[in-house]
């Protein structure tokens, strides 16, 4: 009998703390709407092979969030556009004409597939969080960044692929 009362007390305390929304806290699948705090948990990073296939399909916009000087010094993934991390939030909220003028590209819509990259995945993760918080729900991160891309590309060229 004491166990039963303890269980009832525990359930009562849970209900008081969480209310009827408690089931939503049990899994990310039940979270709907703006998921800023949870989005990166449900968006998996993209591998080199996946990125290469997506670039070949021309179904993504790859945004390199490194500084322009890093790109000039090291190179960039072909087909990427440079929007430094400090500009990502503002850029994704620009009107289309201003975006085209500044970045020489068509501004992505919230339904477009965006991919973020940087040197090794840290800044691109931050850019992903910004994009998701602004409603760009089809955004992903290439965590390997330029470092991984250049290693694979250098190896493929050496092998004659």
Asked whether 63 and 81 are in contact (CB, 8 A), the reply is yes
Residues recorded for the chain: 161
Q: Report the alpha-carbon distance of residue 104 to residue 6 in Å, rounded.
A: 65
Here the tokens at position 77 are 């993934």
Angle at 144 between CA 106 and CA 46, to 5 degrees: 65
Here the tokens at position 108 are 């992505």
Specify whether 4 is catalytic.
Answer: no
Task: Look up residue 81 and give its DSSP letter.
Answer: E
Set 4, 35, 39, 118: catalytic member: 118
Q: Report the alpha-carbon distance of residue 123 to residue 66 in Å, rounded.
A: 8
Q: Which residues are catalytic?
A: 118
């Amino acid at each position: 009998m004491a166990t039963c009362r303890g269980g009832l007390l525990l359930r009562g305390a849970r209900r008081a703390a969480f209310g009827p929304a408690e089931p939503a806290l049990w899994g990310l699948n039940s979270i709907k709407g703006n998921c800023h705090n949870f989005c990166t948990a449900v968006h998996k990073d993209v591998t080199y092979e996946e990125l290469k296939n997506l670039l070949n399909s021309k179904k993504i916009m790859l945004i390199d969030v490194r500084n322009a000087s890093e790109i000039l010094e090291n190179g960039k993934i072909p087909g990427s556009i440079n929007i430094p991390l400090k500009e990502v939030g503002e850029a994704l909220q620009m009107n289309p004409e201003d975006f085209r003028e500044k970045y020489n590209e068509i501004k992505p819509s919230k339904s477009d597939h965006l991919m973020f990259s940087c040197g090794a995945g840290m800044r691109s993760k931050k850019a992903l969080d910004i994009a998701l918080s602004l409603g760009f729900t089809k955004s992903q991160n290439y965590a390997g960044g330029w470092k991984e891309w250049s290693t694979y590309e250098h190896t493929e060229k050496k092998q004659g692929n």
